[in-house]
Amino acid sequence: MSLKDVLKDIEGYQEIGEEIAVLKKYGTDHSSQRGQVRKIIDLLHPGKLKLHVSEIIRETGSTKTFRMVSPDGYLPPFQAGQYINLVVETGGIVTSRDYSISSAPSQTAFYDITVRQIGEGFVSDYLLNDVKVGDEFQSSSPAGNFYYNPLIHGNDLVFLAGGSGITPFMSMIRETLSRGLDRRIHLIYGSLTPDDVIFGQELENLSRNHPNFNRTLVISNPPEGYTGRRGFITADLMKETLGEDISGKTYFICGPEAMYTFCEKELYRLGISRKKIRTEMYGPPKDVSEQPGWPASVGRDAIVTVSIKNGKSVQVRTTEPLMNSLERNGIVIPSLCRSGECSLCRTKLLKGRVFQPEGVRLRASDRKFGYIHPCMAYPLSDLEIQLSNAEFSGSQD
């Protein structure tokens, strides 16, 4: 068989050949079409977005929604459940954090992000205390894999939310109910106190008006006289509220690291298999020294030195993600997920040891060639690292 015969068997080969012939016939240089696909992708899904705050909505005592619009009127489409990586510059430090989009993807005029102030949080404090309508930001395009896939997840969904982990679910719930999609959703939402429940009134109205949406609130630190459900999202609570067919459902978990680790174990106790569970890691753990595997010999908040090959050396704390420490010193490594998943911040470790908690997705080649993910790597000793794509502010001594 000749090469020509083989090529003919390739799907689309004939059509492309015919198209090139037509372009040639009418004098169009077909090579001018090169790069068009890339251009269209960049247009629809640009790497960076300019956003400005068009409205700020107070949700609870510690939470605000920031409505972000684009100065040029175009925001890329997203899947309910995705987040943006918001770049923030405050006090001379450039850093970024991820925020799930809480608005529904069916409206394209704005992205809502809903931020909880965690107390002494670098970015959440700044957003809640200082940001005003009209302020400008840069962000990534929507990203992340925490969304519903109709081919895999079926129609019976359970959302387990903790605290600000309600935000991606809010987008999914708003989309499903406003578009009348054929899905049943049961939300189990854990909060510290009743005052911390975000979107409480809207969730109540939605559950009243939509038979395919139920919500169960559970409060871990209720005030005296509270009559609703108390405690955490346990296996018993799920058995009690979800009915008989527990194994046929798909479970999505989102919230602080301690909450989703706990809920995942409770689901295993119910016999739910790993493939029926989707999780979104909400950034670094609150206290990394309490994570399984943290070496007892390394002091909490001990200080070590990180030397950058052909660059400066900085002092960092063992319990802060390396990426954050570098940013405090004017060194910004590209980042997206800030949860150890996307590999964008991949950095070569030349010397020393780091701790990377469970859930950090190192590839086999990362392990083999000594790469780490600084967004979720904690220095255990003095380090030497090699940076390839970092941006520097200030002088490099």
Binding interface with ligand FAD (CB under 6 A):
83, 97-100, 114-116, 118, 121-124, 144, 164, 167, 280, 282-284, 286-287, 317, 319-320, 338-339
Q: Whole-number minimum distance, CB 94 to ligand FAD, in Å? A: 13
Contact call for residue 340 and ligand FES (CB under 6 A): yes
Contact call for residue 345 and ligand FES (CB under 6 A): yes
Site string for ligand FES, 299-338 (x = CB under 6 A): ------------------------------------xxxx
Q: Whole-number minimum distance, CB 302 to ligand FAD, in Å? A: 11
The residues, ordered by sequence, that sit 6+ positions from 138 with a Cβ below 8 Å of its Cβ are 48, 49, 50, 51, 86, 87
Beta-bridge partner residues of 85: 98
Contact call for residue 347 and ligand FES (CB under 6 A): no
**Where on the phi/psi map is residue 146: left (φ > 0), alpha (ψ -120 to 50), or beta?**
beta
Contact call for residue 343 and ligand FES (CB under 6 A): yes
* Binder of residue 260, out of ligand FAD, ligand FES, none (CB less than 5 to 8 A by kind): none
Q: How many of the other CB atoms lie within 10 Å of CB of 243?
A: 11
What is the C-alpha separation between 180 and 324, in angstroms, rounded?
42
Amino acid making up residue 55: E
What is the C-alpha separation between 139 and 91, in angstroms, rounded?
19
Position among 200, 373, 379, 390 found at the interface with ligand FES (CB under 6 A): 373
| Residue closer to ligand FAD (CB basis): 147 or 251 | 147
What is the C-alpha separation between 157 and 175, in angstroms, rounded?
14
Q: Whole-number minimum distance, CB 327 to ligand FES, in Å? A: 12
- The number of C-alpha atoms within 13 Å of 80 and in the hemisphere containing its C-beta is 22
Q: Look up residue 55 and give its two tokens.
A: 């409205």
Which strand ranges, in their side-by-side order, compose the sheet holding 303-308? 313-317, 303-308, 383-386, 347-351, 371-372
Helix (H) or strand (E) holding 305: strand 303-308
Find, among 66, 245, 280, 246, the residue nearest to 172 by Cα.
Answer: 280
Q: Whole-number minimum distance, CB 230 to ligand FAD, in Å? A: 24
| Residue closer to ligand FES (CB basis): 337 or 354 | 337
Q: Whole-number minimum distance, CB 186 to ligand FES, in Å? A: 31
| Residue closer to ligand FES (CB basis): 175 or 341 | 341
Residue with tokens 């015919």: 18
What is the C-alpha separation between 112 and 122, in angstroms, rounded?
20
Q: Whole-number minimum distance, CB 360 to ligand FES, in Å? A: 8
Q: Look up residue 286 and give its two tokens.
A: 């609150």
* Binder of residue 342, out of ligand FES, ligand FAD, none (CB less than 5 to 8 A by kind): ligand FES
Q: Whole-number minimum distance, CB 103 to ligand FES, in Å? A: 24
| Residue closer to ligand FAD (CB basis): 234 or 284 | 284
| Residue closer to ligand FAD (CB basis): 100 or 140 | 100
Q: Yes or no: say if 113 and 84 are a contact pair by the CB < 8 Å rule.
A: yes
Amino acid making up residue 13: Y
| Residue closer to ligand FES (CB basis): 100 or 191 | 100
Per rule CB under 6 A, count of chain residues that contact ligand FES: 12
| Residue closer to ligand FES (CB basis): 196 or 341 | 341
Q: How many of the other CB atoms lie within 10 Å of CB of 341?
A: 18
| Residue closer to ligand FES (CB basis): 344 or 380 | 344
| Residue closer to ligand FES (CB basis): 163 or 374 | 374
**DSSP-derived secondary structure letter, 107:** -
Residues that bind ligand FES (CB under 6 A): 335-338, 340-345, 373, 375
